[in-house]
Amino acid sequence: MRAIVFDIKRYAVHDGPGIRTSIFFKGCPLRCVWCHNPESYKAGIESICRSNRMGNVDVADETEIGKTYSLGELISEIENDQLFFDESGGGVTFSGGEPLMHIDFLEAILKACKEREIHTALDTTAYAPKDKIDRIINHVDLFLFDLKHMIDKDHISHTGVSNKSILENLKYLADKGREIIIRFPMIPDFNDSEENINLMLDFLNQLPKKPAFHILPYHRTGQDKFRRFGIENSMPDIPSMKEEDTEWVQNLFRESGYKVNVGG
């Protein structure tokens, strides 16, 4: 069993508690227009040309996005930093792309992590049938749950998929008492309307326990990647969102009793 991973980021300090290693699986069912990892869209390994700079000289070089890992290989990458996890209360975060697309591999590696006393977080769009969630629910210590839009029509138009199963899965995880951090990518003119924010608050208020609420203000990093990797880009060329533009949302959620954080 192998999975394609497009990046392994060590000393990741914004993807859950402590010092973490974030594993980015390749392949995603969503096509969020603001995506900052568009190279993760496709599931297969892709070849690109890049240039290696040495002073004023550039040397063209063929390189691949994505590398396949066996379970053993990936576990050993994760174990490299176990000491840092222990010291900091950190662990591993599976991200992507969408890790649930690799459900067999994901289930196996989550189990392997738990056997090794490694804290696990899953950064997910939760766009998946419930039976997939059931397979991993007991091996994930923390869900980093991406919540993008409450109005289905807008969700479909900007991500390509419906939010129906996403919201069902959120309620399901909350009902099961799982630890959840909501990650809200705040994108200008897409999901930052008062209407959407209030709908989100109403939905979260109905959950048995209030999850933590993290706002990720829109960042332009994706723009350059679309260009670099030659991927069609429908995101308008707008500046990154400033932290102060998120203040009203922060205040609204804080007043409603949520633990709010900006920037993950």
Partner 1 sequence: MNNRIKHLREQSLNAINCISPERALLMTEFYKSDEAQMVSTPVKRALSFKHFFANKKICINPNELIVGERGPAPKACPTYPEICIHSLGDLQILNEREKVSFKVDEETFKIYEESIIPFWTGKTNRDKLIGNMTPEWLNAYEAGIFTEFQEQRAPGHTVLGKKMFQRGFLDVKQDIVKAIETLDFLNDNEAYDKQEELKAMAIVCDGIIHFAERHADELENLAKAESNSERKVELEEMAKVCRRVPAHAPETMHEALQHYWFIHLGVISELNPWDSFNPGRLDQHLLPFYEKEVKTGKLAEESMYELLHAFWIKFNNHPAPPKMGVTAKESNTYTDFCLINVGGLKEDGSDAVNEMSYVILNVIEEMRLLQPSSMVQLSKKNPDRFIKRALRIVKTGFGQPSIFNTDAVIQEMLRQGKSIEDARNGGCSGCVETGAFGTENYSLSGYFNLAKILEVTMNNGVDPRKGKQIGLQTGELSSFNSYEELFAAWQKQVQHFANIKLRGNNVIERLYATYLPVPFLSVLVDDCISKGRDYNAGGARYNTSYVQGVGLGSLSDMLASIKYNVFDKEKVSLDDLKKAMDANFNGYDQLRSDLIYKTPKYGNDDDYADDLAIDIFETFYEAVNGRPTAKGGVFRINMLPTTCHVYFGNIMAATPDGRLAEMPLSEGISPYQGADTKGPTAVVKSAAKIDHLRTGGTLLNQKFSPQFMEDEAGITQVMNLVRSYFRMDGHHIQFNVVNADTLRDAQKNPESYKDLIVRVAGYSDYFNDLGEDLQNEIIRRNEHTEF
Site residues, partner 1 (CB under 8 A):
9-11, 13-14, 18-19, 52, 54, 57, 59, 61, 80-81, 83-84, 87-88, 90, 221
CB of 8 to partner 1, least distance (A): 8
| Range 72-85 burial, b when 16+ CB lie within 10 A, else e | eebbebbbebbebb
CB 142 to partner 1: min, Å: 16
Nearer Cβ to partner 1 (127/213): 213
CB of 110 to partner 1, least distance (A): 22
What is the nearest approach in angstroms of partner 1 to the Cβ of residue 261? Answer: 9
Instruction: Name which of 88 and 233 has its Cβ closer to partner 1.
Output: 88
**Do the beta carbons of residue 263 and residue 14 sit within 8 Å?**
yes
Of the two residues 13 and 48, which places its CB atom closer to partner 1 in the complex?
Answer: 13
Nearer to partner 1, 10 or 130 (CB): 10
E strands of 147-195, at which residues? 180-186
Give the pairing type, strands 142-146 and 180-186.
parallel
Of 68 and 80, the one with the shorter C-beta distance to partner 1 is 80
- Per DSSP bridges, beta strands 2-12 and 20-25 are antiparallel
- Closest contact distance (angstroms) between CB of 243 and partner 1 is 12
CB-neighbour burial class of residue 207 (10 A; exposed 0-12, middle 13-18, buried 19+):
middle
User: Do residues 45 and 4 make contact, with C-beta atoms less than 8 angstroms apart?
Assistant: yes
